[in-house]
Amino acid sequence: MTLRYDLVVFDFDGTLADSLTWFRTALSDVVEKHGLNPICEDRAETLRGMTPKAIMDELAIPAWKLPFIAADVRARAADNIDQITLFEGIAELLQQLHAAGITIAVVSSNGEDAIRQVMGSDLVALVSHFACGAALFGKAAVFRKVIRKAGSTPSRTLCIGDEVRDIDAAREAGCGCGAVIWGFATPEILAASGPDHLYETPGEIARCIAPAEPATQRA
């Protein structure tokens, strides 16, 4: 069954863009700089199947450090923007949603300048609202602000991300929640969180939200 949404709010890193491939190259420096527990490759993969709280406990991250770590990662991403690219099929997805008259927003903890550079001017023009630099665990409030600006309602809004915290924030804001399996969190941990929709490809999102109109037969 196709559900009609007026507004679709996308996370950026891990949802629209493959930031994880780049971040793995910077991870050891981030860990060392902020005094976190060391992470080997196998351990880093294990983190993908954990809840946000479990990840913080595993890495011994106190809550007060999160804003500093997030700011550091944003700055590093801006300096290495040429290493971050959109996932295959994302451009076509955004074009199809826009053509169907659906309002598109991007809410991310990443910086807006970096996001605009990765997306490129043609795709940026399809996005009605950017809300960037959001706190890692403060997305619900940002979702509400974007919904008000867009003139929509939570029941007509779908928030799509790649992490458990994205699902939790969408629920807190009263929105529909969709999760993609190609980002940070594993399909198993996402499914266990019970999103309204679990997407395997960008094309599946487009088919669900804005299916192509069937050709009509002329008499």
Q: Are residues 14 and 70 in the same domain?
A: no
Higher pLDDT, 23 or 193: 193
Clarify whether residues 118 and 205 are in a common domain. yes
Query: Concatenated DSSP letters for the chain?
Result: -----SEEEE--BTTTB-HHHHHHHHHHHHHHHTTPPP--HHHHHHHTTS-HHHHHHHHT--GGGHHHHHHHHHHHHHHTGGG--BPTTHHHHHHHHHHTT-EEEEEESS-HHHHHHHH-HHHHTT-SEEEES--TT-HHHHHHHHHHHHT--GGGEEEEESSHHHHHHHHHTT-EEEEETTSSS-HHHHHHT--SEEESSHHHHHHHHSPPPPPPPP-
pTM (two decimals): 0.87
Q: What percent of the chain is modeled with pLDDT above 90?
A: 57
Same domain, yes or no, for 91 and 196? yes
Q: What is the pLDDT of residue 196?
A: 95
End-of-domain residue from the set 83, 101, 131: 83
Q: Which of 4-8, 136-140, 163-167 has the lowest mean pLDDT?
A: 136-140
Structural domain for 115, as ranges: 7-18+84-209
| Pair (197, 170) in one structural domain | yes
Query: Is residue 144's pLDDT more than 80?
Result: yes
pLDDT of 212 reads 63
Whether 197 maps to a domain, the answer reads yes
Listed range (82-86, 92-96, 209-213) with the worst mean pLDDT:
209-213
In a domain, 182, yes or no: yes
Number of domains present in the structure of the chain: 2
Asked if the structure places residue 169 within a domain, the reply is yes
At which of 67, 83, 99 does a domain end?
Answer: 83
On whether residue 130 sits in a domain, the answer given is yes
Indicate the average pLDDT of the chain: 88
Report pLDDT for 218: 36
Rg of the chain in Å (alpha carbons): 17
Residue 216 lies in a domain: no
* Pairwise CA distance, residues 136 & 168, whole Å: 12
| Same domain for 74 and 88 | no
Tell me: do 141 and 168 sit in the same domain. yes
Q: Of all residues in the chain, what percent carry a pLDDT higher than 70? A: 94
User: What is the average per-residue pLDDT within 84-112?
Assistant: 94
- Give domain status of residue 170, yes or no: yes
Indicate whether 110 pLDDT > 80: yes
Q: Is residue 63 domain-shared with residue 108, that is, in the same domain?
A: no
Lowest mean pLDDT, pick from 58-72, 93-107, 150-164, 183-197: 58-72
Mean pLDDT of 116-124: 96
**Pairing mode, strands 7-10 and 157-161:** parallel
Does one domain contain both 14 and 75? no
Whether 105 maps to a domain, the answer reads yes
CATH no. for residue 159? 3.40.50.1000
Q: Is the residue at 204 inside a domain?
A: yes
**What pLDDT is attached to residue 136?**
64
Q: Looking at residue 30, what is its pLDDT?
A: 81
What does the block give as tokens for 12?
């950026």
> Which is higher by pLDDT, 20 or 143?
143
Mean pLDDT of 138-152: 94
